[in-house]
Amino acid sequence: MAGICCGVVGETEPAAPVDSTTRASLRRRLDLLPSIKIVADSAVAPPLESCRKRQKRETVLSRNLDLESNVRSEHKKVKSAVTNSNSVTEAESCFFSDVPRIGTTSVCGRRRDMEDAVSIHPSFLQRNSENLHFYGVFDGHGCSHVAEKCRERLHDIVKKEVEVMASDEWKETMVKSFQKMDKEVSQRECNLVVNGANRSMKNSCRCELQSPQCDAVGSTAVVSVVTPEKIIVSNCGDSRAVLCRNGVAIPLSVDHKPDRPDELIRIQQAGGRVIYWDGARVLGVLAMSRAIGDNYLKPYVIPDPEVTVTDRTDDDECLILASDGLWDVVPNETACGVARMCLRGAGPMDGDDSDAAAAHNACSDAALLLTKLALARQSSDNVSVVVVDLRKRRNNQSSS
């Protein structure tokens, strides 16, 4: 006889009594096991999932807080730098009645890396009892170290050249300054490639991993030297300077694009070509025809700036220097309209301390609004803006 439950039972052995209640309860327990497992899984899974989501949210929140903290920190640094750069000693004010107030912003935007640099040096030189002010915007490409080098050194080079300038030969002086800056950048990169003597200066550069192609790095440069009587603008590349005069936008520089007729002819005469690859590019690589650095594209890409000298008038309101991150999406007229609105909101300049502070805040607001406008219009590049208040104001000592 086949065994039941416990094994095989012989015909002579009496079968053990089977409790039907126990067998039925066992079957019920076995039947319930899958459902119990399902219920248990469903009871445990939501906390695990919510925990993961919570951890993810906390991670994102932490990153956002870190980003916000970094932005605030950089804003404080810029604000502090601007405030310090605009401070004028009493001795300086004896010579000059017109020290412009400025505002500046420089943000990475939608780019992965920050390659722009801004240089602000009010009263960087006194010449013939006149105060000279230096402002510059540099838009790097390939890496940031050429733009940073221009920020650190170009104003010193210009200062030395102006000090030995015989007369108002601004064009020759600025061309020499840019050429010297280009040589310094080239020598620095040569040292890095040949013997690594200055390699410690490039520890943070991603182009350090691209050696020996690190000469494929350069920067635009738009620089303005402002005197009580003149505005000198030197431009090399596609950054731009625009003067707002009585509500009218006056460009003081022309972008150096490879397909600009005169630049196209110059490149072709030098043996180069302009290839249209996502726009006009020198040899299909660089989207500008002049820049500091870019040794691998010489002599097609040159560091020589175009220089304009403009006489100041009582109708001058402000000067805007910016990288193409702004100008690619904001027309000259719109930029001047925004800056003019901010300056007019600050009221006329009478030389009072409160008026000077208001002018400083107005310039900062103008630079910030222009940057926000560029980002809102989907600018895909770094955005750097400098706004210089050119409105005349009285000297406190002469009016007292």
Q: How far is CA 37 from CA 24, 27, 34, 291, in A?
A: 20, 16, 5, 70
Q: Is the pLDDT of residue 313 over 70?
A: yes
Instruction: Of 61-70, 197-206, 230-239, 351-360, give the lowest mean pLDDT range.
Output: 61-70
- Give CA–CA dist 13/248, Å, rounded: 117
pLDDT for the residue numbered 286 = 96
pLDDT for the residue numbered 233 = 98
pLDDT greater at residue 110 or residue 190 = 110
80-113 b/e (C-beta count within 10 Å ≥ 16 → b): eebeebbeeeeeebeebbbbbbbbbbbbebeeee
- Give CA–CA dist 98/85, Å, rounded: 15
pLDDT greater at residue 25 or residue 181 = 181
pLDDT for the residue numbered 158 = 98
Q: Is the pLDDT of residue 379 over 50?
A: yes
Q: What is the rounded average pLDDT of the residues 262-283?
A: 96
End-to-end CA distance of the chain: 128
Would you place residue 216 in the very low, low, confident or very high pLDDT band (cuts 50, 70, 90)?
Answer: confident
- Give CA–CA dist 225/233, Å, rounded: 7
Instruction: Of 28-42, 211-225, 366-380, give the lowest mean pLDDT range.
Output: 28-42
Would you place residue 360 in the very low, low, confident or very high pLDDT band (cuts 50, 70, 90)?
Answer: confident
Helix (H), strand (E) at residue 184: helix 170-194
Q: What is the rounded average pLDDT of the residues 332-352?
A: 83
Q: Which two tokens stand for residue 106?
A: 């420089």
pLDDT for the residue numbered 345 = 81
pLDDT for the residue numbered 27 = 54
pLDDT for the residue numbered 291 = 98
pLDDT for the residue numbered 287 = 96
pLDDT digits (tens, 9 = 90+) for 83-97: 333 333 222 333 334
pLDDT for the residue numbered 347 = 62
Q: Is the pLDDT of residue 250 over 90?
A: yes
Q: Which residue has 């920067």 as its token pair?
A: 219
Q: How far is CA 74 from CA 2, 61, 108, 359, in A?
A: 87, 20, 11, 22
pLDDT for the residue numbered 213 = 52
- Residue 211 and residue 151 in contact, taking contact as beta carbons nearer than 8 Å: no
pLDDT for the residue numbered 310 = 98
**Long-range CB contacts for residues 350-354, cutoff 8 Å, separation at least 24:** 350/393, 350/394, 351/97, 351/393, 351/394, 351/395, 351/396, 351/399, 352/396
Q: Is the pLDDT of residue 350 over 60?
A: no
Closest CA to 223 of 201, 240, 211: 240
- Residue 102 and residue 389 in contact, taking contact as beta carbons nearer than 8 Å: yes
Would you place residue 301 in the very low, low, confident or very high pLDDT band (cuts 50, 70, 90)?
Answer: very high
Q: How far is CA 91 from CA 80, 94, 229, in A?
A: 22, 5, 21
Helix (H), strand (E) at residue 371: helix 353-376
Residue 342 burial (10 A CB sphere; 0-12, 13-18, 19+):
buried
Q: What is the rounded average pLDDT of the residues 23-41?
A: 46
Q: How far is CA 221 from CA 71, 94, 198, 251, in A?
A: 25, 32, 24, 16
Would you place residue 25 in the very low, low, confident or very high pLDDT band (cuts 50, 70, 90)?
Answer: low
Q: Which domains are assigned to the chain? A: 96-256+291-389 (3.60.40.10)
- Residue 245 and residue 233 in contact, taking contact as beta carbons nearer than 8 Å: no
Instruction: Of 12-16, 146-150, 242-246, 360-364, give the lowest mean pLDDT range.
Output: 12-16
> Is 19 strand, coil or helix?
coil
**Which amino acid is located at 66 in the chain?**
D
Instruction: Of 24-38, 59-73, 125-139, 336-350, give the lowest mean pLDDT range.
Output: 59-73
pLDDT greater at residue 246 or residue 43 = 246
Q: What is the rounded average pLDDT of the residues 277-288?
A: 95
Whole-number average pLDDT of the chain: 77
pLDDT digits (tens, 9 = 90+) for 105-115: 999 999 999 99
pLDDT greater at residue 64 or residue 28 = 28
Q: CA gyration radius for the chain?
A: 34
pLDDT for the residue numbered 361 = 87
pLDDT above 70 as % of the chain: 63
Would you place residue 353 in the very low, low, confident or very high pLDDT band (cuts 50, 70, 90)?
Answer: low
